[in-house]
């Protein structure tokens, strides 16, 4: 990619909002910010660094809305999971790719410019591996290449159906790697699949403490010497109770005591933690991966955001089940959950007079970038040129100047304020719509008609 320069009318830099900001790029990376702007492409509006999406299962975008019927004995995460198992039994590789592309288009339109895909759908519907054991991981890579989103691919190690090595359930057969050698082969094949995708990162994920034994987790760490590590943990109280029954420790407590949790790790959900567990996660430097819309949809509970952030904890947000895709919506619901829990307002603002929107966005940039191991946390030299440009002519921005723009975006306009989105300096969204939306949406509609 040739060198280029953008002149943003307004841009949110590490030091705050600035006017008429020249940003120079080379091969999709920012080489300098400020200085002369001769020959620059002018961009109207207010540019933000694109937000990382640190947790998604793209295939679940295809079942959004299908689990909103009450069952005979009351519903929970566990009954939702049965709906998910039935849905994925129908998914072909073509369907996985079509659904992933639709989800990624919507992510880009909604302010997410990079994605950590927690990929555990590996095998054919009968549980047998495809001829290419990374067939479905490859379909995620193809969808990312088509839509342009930045990708961190996390092939998932999933071996068991419950704590202590319980047998997998029939509905989990598409996820299972029999042992660490089978998983290593799967991950190696996924690594080959992403080699042609610029900027892609390969990480890894033990699905949960329910899905791997302690011995397997130890072998997993030896098999994955570098790259980010993500794990589902302490999402549901039933999970906490079953972990206590198995080993006498809570999930986060067990992980901190038995694994070298550090800055490579992202603990997805971590909803149910005691104060000493919160302190331990903060000390470790791991990121808490929050998915407030999905956590609300599934009835998980409320993350202890105020205690966690006041101790210096790192967090980012993800779209998880993709029942609704919105970067601003995830941050807004995170703040609102704390308001409901503590019966107060502006709970996650850093100090008196500080902007809550700015505190949320800055934190999610830093935590998301660490969790994805991607250079995407700021508009600054050495970072990838990922930008979300807000339409400052939107009515939400009429009542205040730049100091209020992030609040107006997160708490008022949301997705409607997004005009342009760029990844690696390439424009993917204009006027609020992805340039390939029409073709991707048509393929998605055909896919869903077949599944129905």
Q: In the beta sheet, which residues pair with residue 23? A: 6, 33
Indicate if the pLDDT at residue 27 is higher than 60: yes
Is 320 labeled as catalytic in the residue annotation? yes
Q: Which pairing describes strands 418-423 and 387-390: parallel, antiparallel, or unpaired?
A: antiparallel
pLDDT given at position 317:
98
Segment 244-302, tens digit of pLDDT: 999 999 999 999 999 999 999 999 999 999 999 999 999 999 999 999 999 999 999 99
Task: Confirm whether pTM is higher than 0.95.
Answer: yes
Q: To 10 degrees, what angle do helices 327-342 and 356-372 make?
A: 120
Strands of 229-233's sheet, edge to edge?
A: 229-233, 265-269, 287-290, 314-317
| 304 closest CA partner among 284, 336, 268, 278 | 278
Is 188 labeled as catalytic in the residue annotation? no
Q: Which two tokens stand for residue 243?
A: 């972990």
- In this prediction, residue 1 has a pLDDT band, given cuts at 50, 70 and 90, of low
**Rounded CA gap, 308 and 179, in Å?**
35
Provide the 3-class DSSP secondary structure of residue 422.
Answer: strand
Contacting residues for 240 by C-beta, under 8 A, at least 6 apart: 234, 250, 251, 272
Indicate if the pLDDT at residue 419 is higher than 80: yes
pLDDT given at position 44:
97
Q: Active site residue: 123, 160, 320, 434, which one?
A: 320
Segment 109-120, tens digit of pLDDT: 999 999 999 999
Provide the 3-class DSSP secondary structure of residue 234.
Answer: coil
On the 0-12 / 13-18 / 19+ scale of CB atoms within 10 A, 196 is exposed
Beta strands in 34-132 (DSSP E): 41-49, 51-56, 112-119
pLDDT given at position 3:
75
| 363 closest CA partner among 324, 331, 403, 387 | 331
Contacting residues for 438 by C-beta, under 8 A, at least 6 apart: none
- In this prediction, residue 73 has a pLDDT band, given cuts at 50, 70 and 90, of confident
What are the φ/ψ torsions at residue 219 (nearest 5 degrees)? -65, -35
Mean pLDDT score of the chain, rounded to an integer?
Answer: 96
Q: Which pairing describes strands 387-390 and 426-430: parallel, antiparallel, or unpaired?
A: unpaired
Q: In the beta sheet, which residues pair with residue 288? A: 267, 315
CB 355 within 8 A of CB 12: no
**Rounded CA gap, 286 and 279, in Å?**
11
- In this prediction, residue 350 has a pLDDT band, given cuts at 50, 70 and 90, of confident
Q: List Cα–Cα distances, 383 to 31, 52, 109, 267, 369, in angstroms.
A: 8, 13, 21, 25, 10
Q: List Cα–Cα distances, 175 to 88, 133, 257, in angstroms.
A: 11, 12, 27
Q: What is the mean pLDDT of residues 150-179?
A: 97
pLDDT given at position 400:
85
Q: Mark out the alpha helices in 268-409 (DSSP H runs).
A: 275-284, 292-298, 305-310, 327-342, 356-372, 405-408
CA dihedral 382, 265, 106, 376 (to 10 degrees): -10
Q: What is the mean pLDDT of residues 188-192?
A: 97
Indicate if the pLDDT at residue 345 is higher than 80: yes
Q: Active site residue: 123, 160, 232, 269, which one?
A: 269
| 137 closest CA partner among 152, 159, 158 | 152
Segment 98-109, tens digit of pLDDT: 999 999 999 999
CB 314 within 8 A of CB 344: no
| 180 closest CA partner among 164, 161, 160, 159 | 159
Q: To 10 degrees, what angle do helices 237-247 and 251-258 make?
A: 50
Segment 351-363, tens digit of pLDDT: 999 999 999 999 9
Q: List Cα–Cα distances, 161 to 169, 250, 416, in angstroms.
A: 6, 18, 41
Q: What is the mean pLDDT of residues 338-363?
A: 96
**∠ at Cα 231 (151, 29), nearest 5°?**
25
Contacting residues for 337 by C-beta, under 8 A, at least 6 apart: 292, 296, 302, 303, 305
Indicate if the pLDDT at residue 329 is higher than 80: yes
**Rounded CA gap, 129 and 112, in Å?**
32
């Amino acid at each position: 990619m040739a060198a280029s320069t953008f002149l943003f009318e307004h841009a949110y830099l590490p030091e705050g909002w600035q006017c008429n900001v020249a940003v120079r790029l080379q091969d999709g990376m920012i080489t300098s910010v400020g200085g002369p702007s001769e020959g620059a492409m002018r961009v109207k509006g207010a540019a933000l660094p694109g937000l990382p999406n640190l947790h998604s299962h793209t295939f679940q975008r295809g079942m959004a809305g299908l689990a909103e019927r009450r069952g005979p004995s009351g519903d929970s995460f566990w009954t939702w999971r049965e709906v998910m198992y039935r849905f994925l039994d129908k998914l072909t590789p073509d369907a996985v790719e079509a659904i992933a592309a639709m989800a990624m288009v919507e992510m880009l339109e909604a302010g997410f410019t990079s994605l950590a895909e927690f990929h555990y759908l590996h095998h054919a519907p009968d549980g047998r591996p495809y001829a290419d054991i990374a067939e479905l991981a490859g379909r995620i890579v193809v969808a990312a290449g088509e839509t342009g989103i930045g990708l961190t691919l996390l092939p998932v190690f999933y071996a068991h159906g419950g704590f202590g090595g319980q047998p997998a359930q029939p509905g989990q057969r598409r996820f299972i790697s029999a042992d660490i050698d089978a998983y290593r082969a799967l991950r190696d094949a996924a690594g080959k699949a992403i080699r042609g995708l610029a900027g892609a990162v390969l990480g890894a994920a033990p699905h949960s403490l329910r899905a791997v034994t302690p011995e397997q987790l130890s072998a997993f760490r030896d098999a994955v010497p570098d790259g980010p590590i993500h794990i589902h943990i302490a999402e549901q109280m039933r999970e906490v109770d079953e972990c206590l029954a198995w080993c006498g420790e809570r999930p986060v407590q067990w992980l901190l005591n038995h694994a070298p949790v550090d800055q490579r790790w992202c603990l997805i959900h971590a909803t149910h933690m005691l104060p000493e567990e919160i302190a331990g996660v903060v000390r470790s430097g791991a990121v808490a991966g929050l998915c407030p819309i999905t956590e609300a949809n599934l009835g998980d509970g409320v993350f202890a955001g105020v205690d966690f952030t006041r101790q210096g904890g790192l967090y980012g947000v993800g779209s998880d089940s993709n029942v609704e895709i919105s970067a601003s919506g995830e941050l807004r619901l995170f703040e609102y959950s704390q308001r409901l829990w503590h019966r107060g307002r502006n709970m996650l603002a850093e100090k008196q007079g500080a902007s809550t929107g700015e505190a949320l966005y800055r934190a999610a940039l830093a935590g998301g970038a660490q969790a994805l191991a991607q250079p995407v946390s700021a508009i600054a030299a050495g970072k990838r040129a990922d930008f979300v440009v807000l339409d400052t002519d939107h009515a939400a921005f009429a009542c205040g100047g730049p100091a209020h723009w992030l609040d107006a975006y997160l708490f008022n306009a949301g997705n409607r304020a997004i005009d342009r989105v760029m990844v690696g300096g390439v424009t993917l969204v204009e006027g609020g719509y992805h340039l390939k939306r029409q073709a991707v949406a048509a393929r998605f509609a055909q896919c869903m008609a077949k599944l129905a």
